[in-house]
């Protein structure tokens, strides 16, 4: 086995697996938190498990998995219950109730931790936040043949294995309860009335969140857990409109964040010239933020840029149609065709002019005047007709005043889809519009 592969197997593989499993399980659960507007519950739980962990450690005296898991899960459940209690009994609004509970729990955890540390036991609050991905390692055998023996595999670090189990359980939960979770996220009251108690589902979900938080925190830190609960789901929410694709996309986003973030953190020394790798958990979080930012800007359906682009395209269409209609109206009034007006090269008008010329809808006479071609005239006639049909409709059906409808019709004519057009002409239109102009 080549030494580089050996290094990979010993340091990178376990950490990568831990990060990936943590990211995937959190992202799966996050979809439902984001939809139920309880994203911050993940944040609250991940802070609030700290006293549970420390207490379990102090009581059991070991840091083996089970007592810690039980302690943290208990703390998670206590948090959920306390938040509900403070909210209902104390009549405190939900966000504030969460803030009160998780900050007190976290403060309690930090104090316990520091006092424990004073007794020569190195418990470190920082690792709860950042995790210690870099410190998970494995001593793999030197030969391929020994790789898959029971002995070597049993030495595989605990964190990735635990996280793999948690991920499998989460996948099972989401698969089995997909329909129920979707219903409860969309309409909790309906879910309850149909016999799927929304409260019970809420607690199941929270229990799993607590489980994922506990399994993840030691490896990746609570900050990464919070990020993975929210960012991939939010990213997916901007890219899809249905829940199943959203869940799948969120998993993909989580995978990209975990692998990409880890790779960036590991290769940072080479391109930054620093001697040590950067925080992998922080980098994975950052990558998930970058993915979300990209989705915010570039999502084809909901992205800021896509909306902007649609807007520009529409502006050009409108300018082109206005140009054709103006020329038509001038022809109708027997006025001479105008010359092309000067407008900025980047304005919608100038794009529209070039577009119309290229489509042979208008042509330029040698003197520079603009004139409709036969194709252009047909298109213009259709537009004018739509415009005047709208005016008629607005006055007759909607009771608007005849001297008011021109501007509204001016906008609507550009947005008239074939079905709307069919609807407009369902009744035979009168020969003239409200202003007495003929409807072509």
Contact between 279 and other proteins by CB under 8 A: the answer reads yes
Query: Is 81 a binder of other proteins (CB under 8 A)?
Result: no
Choose between 111 and 369: whose C-beta lies nearer to other proteins.
111
Segment 382-411, which members bind other proteins (CB under 8 A)?
393-394, 397-401, 404-405, 407-408, 411
108 binds other proteins (CB under 8 A): yes
The terminus-to-terminus CA distance of the chain in angstroms comes to 82
Q: Is residue 24 part of the contact set for other proteins (CB under 8 A)?
A: no
Minimum distance from residue 352 beta carbon to other proteins (Å): 15
Indicate the residue among 135 and 339 with the shorter CB distance to other proteins. Answer: 135
From candidates 17, 181, 209, 224, binder to other proteins by CB under 8 A: 224
CA distance 420 to 393: 12
Stretch that binds other proteins, among 69-77, 287-295, 325-333, 340-348 (CB under 8 A): 287-295
| 242 in contact with other proteins (CB under 8 A) | no
DSSP state of 88: H
CA 211 to chain CA centroid, nearest Å? 23
Which span sits near other proteins by CB under 8 A: 89-97, 247-255, 329-337, 339-347?
Answer: 89-97
Distance from C-alpha of 323 to C-alpha of 65, rounded to nearest angstrom: 73
CB of 365 to other proteins, least distance (A): 33
Site for other proteins in 162-191 (CB under 8 A): none
**Is residue 125 at the binding interface for other proteins, with CB under 8 A as the rule?**
yes
32 Cβ contact partners less than 8 Å away, ≥ 6 residues apart? 181, 185, 205
By CB under 8 A, name the one of 7, 10, 103, 193 that touches other proteins: 103
What does the DSSP assignment read for 221-245?
-HHHHHHHHHHHHHHHHHH-SSHHH
Please count the residues of this chain forming the interface with other proteins, following the rule CB under 8 A.
Answer: 121
Least Cβ distance, residue 377 to other proteins (angstroms): 26
Pairwise CA distance, residues 272 & 276, whole Å: 10
Q: Which is nearer to other proteins, 104 or 357 (CB)?
A: 104
CB under 8 A: which stretch of 126-134, 192-200, 367-375, 429-437 binds other proteins? 126-134
Rounded to the nearest 5 degrees, what angle is found at the Cα of 278, between the Cα atoms of 51 and 57?
Answer: 20
- Encoded tokens for 9: 């197997």
**262 burial type by CB count under 10 A (0-12 exposed, 13-18 middle, 19+ buried):** buried
Q: Are 43 and 102 in contact (CB under 8 A)?
A: yes
The number of helices, as runs of H, and strands, as runs of E, in the chain is 19, 2
**Residue among 424, 429, 437, 440 that touches other proteins (CB under 8 A):** 424
Cross-strand bridge partners of residue 339: 369
- Return the number of the residue (116 or 330) whose C-beta is nearest other proteins: 116
Question: 215 or 231, CB closer to other proteins?
Answer: 231
Residue of 175, 161, 310, 338 whose CA lies nearest to 243: 175
Per rule CB under 8 A, is residue 145 in the interface with other proteins? no
Q: Are strands 370-372 and 362-364 parallel, antiparallel or unpaired?
A: antiparallel
Q: Residue from 142, 149, 155, 175 that binds other proteins (CB under 8 A)?
A: 155
Alpha helices in 273-303 (DSSP H): 280-298
d(CA 226, CA 236): 16
**Rule CB under 8 A: which of 201-220 touch other proteins?**
218-219
80 touches other proteins (CB under 8 A): no
Residue with Cβ nearer other proteins (34 or 205) = 34
Task: Determine, following the binding rule CB under 8 A, whether residue 283 of this chain makes contact with other proteins.
Answer: yes
> Closest distance between other proteins and the C-beta of residue 53, in Å?
9
């Amino acid at each position: 086995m080549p030494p580089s592969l050996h290094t990979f197997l010993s340091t990178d593989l376990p950490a990568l697996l831990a990060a990936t499993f943590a990211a995937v399980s959190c992202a799966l659960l996050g979809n439902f938190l984001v939809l139920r507007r309880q994203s911050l519950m993940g944040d609250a739980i991940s802070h609030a498990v700290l006293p549970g962990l420390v207490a379990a450690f102090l009581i059991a005296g070991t840091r083996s998995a089970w007592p810690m898991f039980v302690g943290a899960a208990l703390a998670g459940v206590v948090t959920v219950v306390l938040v509900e209690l403070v909210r209902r009994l104390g009549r405190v609004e939900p966000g504030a109730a969460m803030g009160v509970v998780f900050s007190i729990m976290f403060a309690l955890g930090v104090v316990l931790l520091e006092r424990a540390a004073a007794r020569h036991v190195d418990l470190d609050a920082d690792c709860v936040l950042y995790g210690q991905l870099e410190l998970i390692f494995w001593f793999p055998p030197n030969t391929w043949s020994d790789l898959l023996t029971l002995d070597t595999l049993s030495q595989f670090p605990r964190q990735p294995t635990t996280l793999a189990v948690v991920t499998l359980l989460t996948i099972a939960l989401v698969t089995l309860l997909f329909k129920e979770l979707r219903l409860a996220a969309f309409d909790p009251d309906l879910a309850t009335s149909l016999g799927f108690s929304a409260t019970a589902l809420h607690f199941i979900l929270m229990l799993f969140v607590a489980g994922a938080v506990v399994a993840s925190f030691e490896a990746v830190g609570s900050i990464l857990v919070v990020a993975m609960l929210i960012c991939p789901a939010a990213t997916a929410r901007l890219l899809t409109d249905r829940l199943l694709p959203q869940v799948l996309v969120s998993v993909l986003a989580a995978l990209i964040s975990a692998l990409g973030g880890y790779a960036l953190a590991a290769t940072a020394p080479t391109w930054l010239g620093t001697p040590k790798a950067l925080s992998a958990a922080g980098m994975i979080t950052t990558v998930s933020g970058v993915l979300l930012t990209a989705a915010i800007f570039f999502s084809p359906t909901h992205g800021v840029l896509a909306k902007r682009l649609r807007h520009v395209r529409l502006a050009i269409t409108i300018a082109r149609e206005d140009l054709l209609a103006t020329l038509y109206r001038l022809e109708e009034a027997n006025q001479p065709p105008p010359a092309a007006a000067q407008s900025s090269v980047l304005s919608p008008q100038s794009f529209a002019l070039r577009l119309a010329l290229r489509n042979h809808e208008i042509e330029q006479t040698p003197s520079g005047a603009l004139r409709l071609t036969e194709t252009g005239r047909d298109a213009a006639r259709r537009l004018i007709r739509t415009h005047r049909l709208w005016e008629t409709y607005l006055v007759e059906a909607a009771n608007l005043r005849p001297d008011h409808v021109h501007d509204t019709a001016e906008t609507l004519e550009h947005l008239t889809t074939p079905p709307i057009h069919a609807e407009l002409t369902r009744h035979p239109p009168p020969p003239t519009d409200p202003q007495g102009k003929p409807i072509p």
